[in-house]
Copies of this chain bind each other. A is one copy, B any other.
Amino acid sequence: MKIGILGTGGVGRTLAAKLNSLGHEVVIGTRNVGDTLARTAPDGMGSPPFKVWHSQNSKVELVKFSEAASFGEMLFLATFGDKTLASIDMAGKQNFDSKVVIDTTNPLDFSKGVPPKFTVTLGNSLGEQIQKQIPNAKVVKAFNTIGAHIMVTPMREEGSPDLFIAGNDDDAKKKFVSLAEQMGWENVIDFGDISQSYWLEANAMLWIHYGFKYNNWNHAFKLLKK
């Protein structure tokens, strides 16, 4: 499958490398290709400069947001939450039409330090805002309560975590789940339509507070069912 990823940080890179290793054609999109390749310092989250990663993952082409969105049959949003809507605008909203768009982002404000502040209210989650911005796309909220390394290697020593998803389109959710299964996910919980994004984004705050309090980022939720 042709996959376009928006965002060149840890999440975007990790998803791109894994999906490419599974045989998919993957491009990774950024605001400005030249700027991204010119960086020589680690990014805000401590990831090495993009070109270092890219030298080891050269099959993943670095392109503009608009080219990534236009290229992919399935798209992943992997920008900072406070940049996601602007990134979509920059990518050209029409490029999302009819596509399955996986929203991995969270509505977080890191400007006052960590833990970050939560920036949305009930009924206006980031997942819902994105779906409203690109109404012809099929947005699936997913992967927003785990670190990038767990997205692509879900199995934990303590068991198999659950993949929490939400979205309005059942067929889009099916397509994403099929891809997630290729990535090693065994258990999916579909919480319902995109309005459930609010609870998934709130759940990310539990995940984040745990991470900062216990300095552990290898954690992932599981819902025991019986």
Q: Which residues of A approach B to under 8 Å, CB–CB?
A: 118, 121-122, 156-159, 161, 164, 189-192, 196, 198-200, 202-203, 205-206, 209-210, 213, 216, 218-226
Contacts and interface: CB of A to CB of B under 8 A. Distances in A.
Contact of A192 (B118, B157, B199, B209): B209
A175 B122 CA distance: 34
Given A191-B206, A191-B209, A199-B206, A221 B221 contact: yes
Given A203-B203, A210-B189, A216 B225 contact: yes
Contacts of A218: 225-226
Copies per complex of this chain: 2
Given A118-B122, A191-B206, A205-B199, A222 B219 contact: no
Contact of A157 (B158, B164, B190, B226): B226
Contact of A206 (B121, B200, B220): B200
Contacts of A161: 224
A35 to B, nearest CB: 35
